[in-house]
Amino acid sequence: MPELPEVETVVRGLRSQLTGRCIVSVRLGKTDFIDDPAAIERDLPGRRIAEVARYGKFVLLHLEPPAGGPDGVGRGACLVVHLGMTGQLAPRVPEQPATPHTHAFFALDDGRELRYTDIRRFGRLALIPQPELRAFFAGLGADPLEITEEEFRTRLAGRRAMIKALLLDQHFLRGLGNIYCDESLWRARIHPARQAARLSSEQARRLYRGIRGVLTAAIRLRGSSISDFVDAEGRPGEYQLRHRAYGREKKPCFRCGVKIRRVIVAGRSSYFCPQCQSAPRKRRRGQSRRKRQ
DNA sequence: CGTTGAACCTGTTTGC
DNA sequence: TGCAAACAGGTTCAAC
């Protein structure tokens, strides 16, 4: 469910509600998606939330150093949350019965409870000491909203993977997922199976702008809700009403009217317009195009 | 490097 | 009607 716009939406909601709050106690249900459950139960109570941020698809709750650590130099830490496919993170009043599959309860000093719910448990929860944060995120690519067009083009060069595989790869860019890849490619009129390195500079430019345009528009509408996603207030987003490709198999393309098709690219359902997003020419066997000097 | 398929887990939809 | 297969916003790993 949650890609960059959904995570950004959750983070904005949590930021206004959690900043400055203190975590009073912790209660855990199933823990197979938690890195070190014992450490969370032991080290989290008493910690104050200094800052809420997003890193790619991760939600970051930066914690203040514990008061009066050994010789006064308590280490800061960060509660890192990945929502996987079905994760939800939202503060609730304790009277509100917990929905099924709620596996983490963090009682707050304002009487409310921050709850983590995740039907499939593809998410992840980890308490990372501040000094280890850098290593934890090592290898993730640039944020698609921060990268420059020049940088984007440079990183595309020489990559022989299919463009969709590359966009989905969090080591290439952090934050895109299946929905926004397809929407960006539709905007840019690029077939998902096109080889990245073979995009013209014109296409690369359109893709760069497509990605930015889609993400900013989706954030404005508080993300896409297909079936699970709700923000930190429990509200669904509305960007699913603006989808032009994703989930629209056999429906007419908004540009040309030709029926949207679904194919598997990079192991994922990929929706595209066969008219606007023309397929790459199939390369014949043995016709590998590598440095032929 | 890049691709494919499976695995992780639960729930919903689709097809025969 | 009923049951099995397919599919779902993500990530990771093995094998080729």
By the 8 A CB rule, do A153 and A201 touch? Answer: yes
Task: Identify whether A64 is a catalytic site residue.
Answer: no
Q: Is the dihedral of CA A271, A273, A276, A282 positive or negative?
A: positive
pLDDT over threshold 60, residue A293: no
pLDDT tens for A14-36 read 999 999 999 999 999 999 999 99
CA→C1' distance for A22 and B2 (Å): 46
pLDDT tens for A81-99 read 999 999 999 999 999 999 9
Give CB contacts under 8 A, 24+ apart, made by A255-263.
Answer: A263/A192, A263/A193
Say which of A21, A47, A54, A57 is annotated catalytic.
Answer: A57
**How many residues make up chain A in this entry?**
293
pTM for the full predicted model: 0.96
User: Of chain A residues 235-254, which have a beta carbon within 7 Å of strand C?
Assistant: 240
Task: Identify whether A2 is a catalytic site residue.
Answer: yes
Q: How many CB atoms sit inside 10 A of residue A185's CB?
A: 30
Q: Which of A213, A130, A124 is nearest to A170 (CA)?
A: A124
Distance CA(A191)–CA(A207), nearest Å, equals 11
pLDDT tens for A145-161 read 999 999 999 999 999 99
Report the pLDDT value the prediction gives residue A283, as an integer from 0 to 100.
62
CA→C1' distance for A48 and B3 (Å): 45
Q: Which nucleotides of B are covered by protein (CB under 7 A)?
A: 1-6, 8-12
Task: Identify whether A205 is a catalytic site residue.
Answer: no
Distance CA(A79)–CA(A70), nearest Å, equals 21
As a whole-number percent, the residues of chain A with pLDDT over 70 amount to 94
Distance CA(A289)–CA(A195), nearest Å, equals 12
- SS3 state at A126: strand
Say which of A2, A5, A91, A144 is annotated catalytic.
Answer: A2
Closest alpha carbon to C1' of B10, residue: A120
Distance CA(A182)–CA(A118), nearest Å, equals 25
Distance CA(A43)–CA(A66), nearest Å, equals 9
Residues in a beta bridge with A63: A49, A77
